[in-house]
Amino acid sequence: MVMMDGMIPTPTPPADPRDRGGALQPLLIVRDLIKHFPIKGTGGRAVRAVDGVSFEVRKGETLGVVGESGCGKSTLARLLLHLIRPNSGELVFDGDPVDEPHGISVSALRRQVQMVFQDSYSSLNPRMPVRDSVAFGPYVQDKPKAEARDIAVNMLAKVGLNPDQFGPRYPHELSGGQKQRVNIARALATGPRMVILDEPVSALDKSVEAQVLNLLRALKRQFNLTYVFISHDLNVVRYISDRVLVMYLGKIVELGPVDSIFSAPRHPYTQALLASRPSMDPSRRIDDPPVTGDPPNPIDPPPGCRFHTRCPHAQAVCSAQEPRLIESLADDRHIAACHMHDPESGHTMAVAGSA
Amino acid sequence: MNKTEPLAEVRDLKVRFVGREDTVHAVNGVSFAVHPGEVLCILGESGSGKSVTLRSLMRLLPDRARIEGDVRVGGQDVLKMSNRSLRDLRGGSVSMIFQEPMTALDPVYTVGEQIGETVRRHTGCDKAKARARALELLNLVRIPSAERRLDAYPHELSGGLRQRAMIAMALSCDPKLLLADEPTTALDATVQIQVLILLRKLQAEMGMGMIFVTHDLGVAAEIADNVAVMYAGRIVEYGPVERMMKAPLHPYTQGLLASTVHDQSRDQDIDAIPGSPPDMRRPPPGCGFAPRCVKARDVCRTAVPAERYPEPGRMAACVAVEVPEMAAA
């Protein structure tokens, strides 16, 4: 289980005929992505949902994205598919810039990237038998009707639903877990290389959640998929991810291999988030909350480090200056945006933290 | 084990929702008791009947609900009470907190006004006294700058503060019994643990009994003394939380513990319970869990299993549970 420092935890995926950049080219590169939602009548104030985010998604990996409500993780998911347009920033899919003259178009991107949403009911057409919902994607992507339907039948079977029994049903005739299976089939029907899963199991009961997680892992192996898995549930993220990205108020605060993040979190926010998990052991209950207060409003995020209002180690530099994302000397793939890990920041605990 | 009179006692509670086309059998014979100072968690998945059971204690159910059985709260028969005495009960000696504070609080009144209204309704004091009590309560639930928050509207507060304000309102008349319906489910992780710790401290300080409904094993482990696990409208397992977490008796509880994602090895699939919960419009005739149970026998599909008591203070309704000779006698 313990990963050696510097080892890439993901296996190299077999060659895909659509692969353009080779195994080492990240499947998706995100650079300086910004999305602000202006608020009417406030003279230019805005919700700074995603505020300068850069990362890579490697081929064949599962990148987990965690954070609390308002941290921008769902906005980020939508930006990755251009379901909403960013104010600025750049997406590069397998070496090709997205929505640029010399790159690939948004519709070409969506042939290769699909999404599964949290609410399994509202993301299916209530007036369509679920088989037709699954067939719709291939159909609009120029497959003949009969072929699209064959794909749908095949995909329903792949997600564990008997196509004859469940295919003709409408969404309201299915349970939550079954609907989410249909959504997964719908996302995979167009043959994507990457799937963005936005809280895909959060609305499900625990006993069904486990089934869907097992299914997602099996499908990933079978179809050589790359996942971006967004969740507020740290236990689920730890189980399913190869690398984890932690967001707080529109910023990345920490990013690294899953074992490294969970065994040695660097950012005080990640530490608090991990310590806030119930212990599952009544004899070892948590007596003092790891942090106090709620996440601040993303309309006017605090200056400097956005976590400084709740951070137990905050000093003057934390409210004055925004921390850089610093690579640690010991492990160059685990980065955190905290002055305590920046020897030049002036934080009095900086030296100890970066050693 | 507890010699005091129970705060609430439920005997063979059955609740059906009668509709034009079909009837939902939400609760099918539930019995339990809660004593002063005890925290009972009702643990179950959606549709298990946990919230309906909780609401029955205050008769907070729609008219089409058909309630049978015996529900006693503070010695009074809740099912026979007049609407007027029900209003005295609700928010007085028994109060309730809900999952979503934004819908449970009135958006057009300030937090101080809402808490004050409850205080005045039950104690008959004047406005100034009620406001002073509201301030005291906001301090009790550790709301920072309480004086200022008294005049805030619910939408002006963060999720965690709104939930604290709702707890303050529920505690305004020193209830003996607090009913909590998933009060931390909608909160962020770092806020959820704060509210759980707060509730635990307040419960101990005030010596209240509490019934806490949740679907989350981790939450139950943080707050419960005893746990009643519900499935398909029945309590399938009951007992102290430590024993249940370490050595669950009922196959459903065992499956739930195994399928809850918590530090499993990433190399293996999670032991998921197959299938999905039954449709309570057509509940299975025998054990509700039999269609998904690996240990199910023929008898499980035809007859509801009797309650068994394999250890003192523990119950499981399952034919696979062995009862030692001594305990059976």
Longest dimension (CA), chain B: 66
Chain A residues whose beta carbon lies within 8 Å of the beta carbon of residue B273? 207, 210-211
Q: How far is B144 from chain A (nearest CA, A)?
A: 9
Q: Are residues B230 and B289 in the same domain?
A: yes
Token digits for B34? 């809660």
Place A352 in a pLDDT band, splitting at 50, 70 and 90.
low
Q: Shortest CB distance from B197 goes to which of A207, A280, A289?
A: A289
Interchain contact B197–A (C-beta under 8 A) = yes
Place B186 in a pLDDT band, splitting at 50, 70 and 90.
confident
Q: Shortest CB distance from A205 goes to which of B189, B215, B218?
A: B215
Q: Are residues B38 and B169 in the same domain?
A: no
The mean pLDDT of A40-68, rounded to a whole number, is 93
What average pLDDT does the structure give for chain A? 90
The parent domain of residue B87 ranges over 8-93+175-263+271-328
Chain A residues whose beta carbon lies within 8 Å of the beta carbon of residue B266? 1, 239-240, 258
Last residue of a domain, one of B123, B153, B174: B174
Q: Are residues B180 and B170 in the same domain?
A: no
- Domain count within chain B: 2
> Which residues touch B244 (CB under 8 Å, ≥6 apart)?
B227, B229, B237, B253
- List B residues 242-301 in contact with A (Cβ-Cβ < 8 A): 242, 245, 255-256, 259-266, 269-274, 276-277, 292
**For position A42, what pLDDT does the model report?**
82
The mean pLDDT of A10-19, rounded to a whole number, is 69
**For position B215, what pLDDT does the model report?**
94
Contact yes or no for B171/B142 (Cβ under 8 A): no
Contact yes or no for B183/B194 (Cβ under 8 A): no
**Is residue B101 one of the residues assigned to a domain?**
no
**For position A297, what pLDDT does the model report?**
86
Residue where the block lists tokens 């529920």: B170
Determine phi and psi for B170, rounding to 5 degrees: -65, -30
Cβ separation of B189 and A235 shorter than 8 Å? no
Amino acid A352 reads A
The sign of the dihedral angle between the CA atoms of B233, B237, B238, B240 is negative
What are the residue ranges spanned by the domains of chain A?
A: 28-248
Q: Are residues B166 and B180 in the same domain?
A: no
B201 has a pLDDT exceeding 80: yes
Cβ separation of A280 and B262 shorter than 8 Å? yes
Cβ separation of A206 and B219 shorter than 8 Å? no
Cβ separation of B218 and A279 shorter than 8 Å? yes
| Burial of A299 per CB tally in 10 Å (0-12, 13-18, 19+) | middle
Chain B residues whose beta carbon lies within 8 Å of the beta carbon of residue A278? 193, 196, 216, 218-219, 221-222
Cα–Cα dist B165/B171, whole Å: 10
Cβ separation of B221 and A289 shorter than 8 Å? no
Tell me which CATH code domain A28-248 carries.
3.40.50.300
**Is residue B110 one of the residues assigned to a domain?**
yes
Q: Are residues B68 and B155 in the same domain?
A: no
**For position A207, what pLDDT does the model report?**
85
Please, what's the b/e burial string for A165-199 (b: 16 or more CB within 10 A of its CB; e: otherwise)?
Answer: ebbebebeebbbbbbbbbbbbbbbbbebbbbbbbb
Q: How far is A292 from chain B (nearest CA, A)?
A: 7
Q: Are residues B185 and B239 in the same domain?
A: yes
Q: Are residues B245 and B298 in the same domain?
A: yes
Q: Shortest CB distance from A273 goes to which of B160, B189, B263?
A: B189
**For position A342, what pLDDT does the model report?**
87
Instruction: Read off the pLDDT of residues A89-136 as tens digits, 9 standing for 90 and up.
Output: 999 999 999 999 999 999 999 999 999 998 989 999 999 999 999 999
What average pLDDT does the structure give for chain B? 93
**For position A43, what pLDDT does the model report?**
82
Q: Shortest CB distance from B193 goes to which of A207, A286, A294?
A: A286
A13 has a pLDDT exceeding 60: no
B327 has a pLDDT exceeding 70: no
Q: Are residues B113 and B87 in the same domain?
A: no
Instruction: Name the helix (H) or strand (E) containing A141.
Output: none
Chain B residues whose beta carbon lies within 8 Å of the beta carbon of residue A213? 261, 270, 272
Q: Which residue of A has its CA nearest to B163?
A: A294
Place A355 in a pLDDT band, splitting at 50, 70 and 90.
very low
Highest mean pLDDT among A14-18, A120-124, B312-316, B320-324: B312-316
Least confident of A235-244, A247-256, A343-352, B190-199: A343-352
Last residue of a domain, one of B132, B148, B174: B174
A12 has a pLDDT exceeding 80: no
**Secondary structure percentages of chain A, helix, strand, coil, to 5:** 30, 20, 50
Place A206 in a pLDDT band, splitting at 50, 70 and 90.
confident
Place A1 in a pLDDT band, splitting at 50, 70 and 90.
very low
Instruction: Read off the pLDDT of residues B77-117 as tens digits, 9 standing for 90 and up.
Output: 999 999 999 999 998 899 999 988 888 899 999 999 999 99
Q: Which residue of A has its CA nearest to B223?
A: A282
Q: Are residues B208 and B163 in the same domain?
A: no
Last residue of a domain, one of B149, B174, B199: B174
Chain A residues whose beta carbon lies within 8 Å of the beta carbon of residue B242? 282-283
**For position A305, what pLDDT does the model report?**
95
Least confident of A10-14, A342-346, B112-116, B241-245: A10-14
The mean pLDDT of B267-279, rounded to a whole number, is 90
Q: Shortest CB distance from B245 goes to which of A176, A208, A280?
A: A280
Interchain contact B100–A (C-beta under 8 A) = no
Instruction: Read off the pLDDT of residues B222-267 as tens digits, 9 standing for 90 and up.
Output: 999 999 999 999 999 999 999 999 999 999 999 999 999 888 888 8
Q: Return the DSSP state at B68.
A: E
CATH number at residue B66: 3.40.50.300
Q: Are residues B310 and B246 in the same domain?
A: yes
Residue where the block lists tokens 């005049």: B151
Determine phi and psi for A106, rounding to 5 degrees: -65, -40
Q: How many CB pairs under 8 A join A and B?
A: 132
ipTM given for this complex: 0.87
Q: How far is A283 from chain B (nearest CA, A)?
A: 7
Q: Shortest CB distance from B188 goes to which of A176, A208, A295?
A: A295
Q: Are residues B285 and B182 in the same domain?
A: yes
Q: For residue A35, which of A287, A305, A247, A276 has the smallest C-alpha distance?
A: A247
**For position A9, what pLDDT does the model report?**
53
Q: What angle is formed at CA A201 by the lines to CA A237 and CA A77, rounded to 5 degrees?
A: 70
A85 has a pLDDT exceeding 70: yes
Instruction: Read off the pLDDT of residues A65-81 as tens digits, 9 standing for 90 and up.
Output: 999 888 999 999 999 99
Determine phi and psi for A326, rounding to 5 degrees: -105, 130
**For position B95, what pLDDT does the model report?**
94
Place A18 in a pLDDT band, splitting at 50, 70 and 90.
confident
List alpha helices for chain B, DSSP H: 50-56, 83-89, 101-104, 111-123, 127-140, 146-149, 159-170, 189-206, 217-223, 241-246, 251-259, 298-302, 325-328
Q: Shortest CB distance from B159 goes to which of A272, A286, A294?
A: A294
Instruction: Name the helix (H) or strand (E) containing A305.
Output: none
Q: Are residues B76 and B222 in the same domain?
A: yes
Place A353 in a pLDDT band, splitting at 50, 70 and 90.
very low
The percentage of residues in chain B with a pLDDT greater than 70, rounded to a whole number, is 98
Token digits for B329? 């006698």
The mean pLDDT of B30-37, rounded to a whole number, is 96
**For position A10, what pLDDT does the model report?**
55
The mean pLDDT of A153-157, rounded to a whole number, is 97
The mean pLDDT of B43-71, rounded to a whole number, is 94
